[in-house]
């Protein structure tokens, strides 16, 4: 197995601040915007961006939710073992809101397709955008693209991009793993 560092902690930090600024450019004071982190791993990115927006850019009353897509995936019946769902925490109305989905990696687009289905149970947003830290190029199975991307990565199919957060490991990093 080989492992290459795509982004180190400093680079992740710079990208997070850029993404936060791009969100502010579009959504101003976020009065009609909600952020939704996709479980499980979009949660870390969503919480980190929310922290920057609130603590450094003084956005007030920022709404952040978490959405589990386990049973909305088109492959969930293919699993051999029982699936374990994560929590969904959306304690606000999404009807007529600008929703920003947040996930760590965009690859085939199937997770986002599932999220688009799942969010319908909560209402009809005015608009849904997508923010991803890593956009794997030329790998989409569906016509889904990010509105905000941290870094575009070219990887071959047997490679995997792993986003590691300091909340889970010692420091932020993005790796390209080749098995
Ligand atoms: O665009 P896609 O092909 O859907 O890939 C993107 C998804 O892949 C990863 O999750 P993964 O499917 O590895 O599941 P996990 O987060 O439960 O490990 C990642 O966190 C994204 O949610
Ligand atoms: O490289 C990939 C592809 C899908 N999901 C990931 O987390 N990494």
Q: Residue 157: what pLDDT?
A: 83
Distance 42 CA to ligand 1 centre (A): 9
Q: Is the pTM of this model over 0.80?
A: yes
User: Partners of 73 in the beta sheet?
Assistant: none
Q: Residue 146 — φ and ψ, nearest 5°?
A: -80, 145
User: Is the CB of residue 146 below 6 angstroms from any atom belonging to ligand 1?
Assistant: no
DSSP 3-state helix, strand, coil percentages of the chain (rounded to 5)? 30, 30, 40
Report how many helices (DSSP H) and strands (DSSP E) the chain contains, helices first: 3, 8
Residue-averaged pLDDT of the chain:
95
Distance 35 CA to ligand 1 centre (A): 18
CA distance 105 to 153: 10
Ligand in nearest proximity to the CA of 40: 1
CA distance 149 to 32: 22
Q: What is the ipTM of this complex?
A: 0.94
Ligand in nearest proximity to the CA of 68: 1
């Amino acid at each position: 197995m080989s492992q290459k560092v795509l982004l180190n902690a400093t680079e992740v930090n710079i990208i997070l601040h850029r993404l936060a600024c791009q969100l502010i450019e579009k959504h101003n004071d976020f009065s009609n915007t909600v952020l939704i982190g996709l479980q499980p791993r979009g949660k870390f990115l969503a919480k980190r961006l929310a922290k920057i927006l609130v603590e450094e850019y003084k956005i007030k009353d920022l709404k952040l939710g978490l959405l589990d897509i386990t049973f909305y995936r088109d492959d969930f019946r293919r699993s051999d073992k029982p699936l374990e769902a994560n929590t969904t925490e959306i304690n606000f109305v999404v009807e007529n809101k600008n929703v920003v989905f947040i996930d760590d990696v965009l690859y085939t687009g199937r997770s986002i397709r599932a999220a688009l289905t799942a969010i319908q149970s909560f209402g009809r947003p005015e608009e849904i955008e997508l923010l991803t830290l890593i956009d794997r190029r030329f790998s989409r199975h569906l016509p889904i693209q990010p509105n905000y991307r941290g870094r575009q990565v070219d990887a071959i199919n047997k490679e995997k991009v792993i986003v590691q957060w300091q909340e889970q490991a010692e420091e932020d990093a993005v790796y390209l793993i080749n098995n």
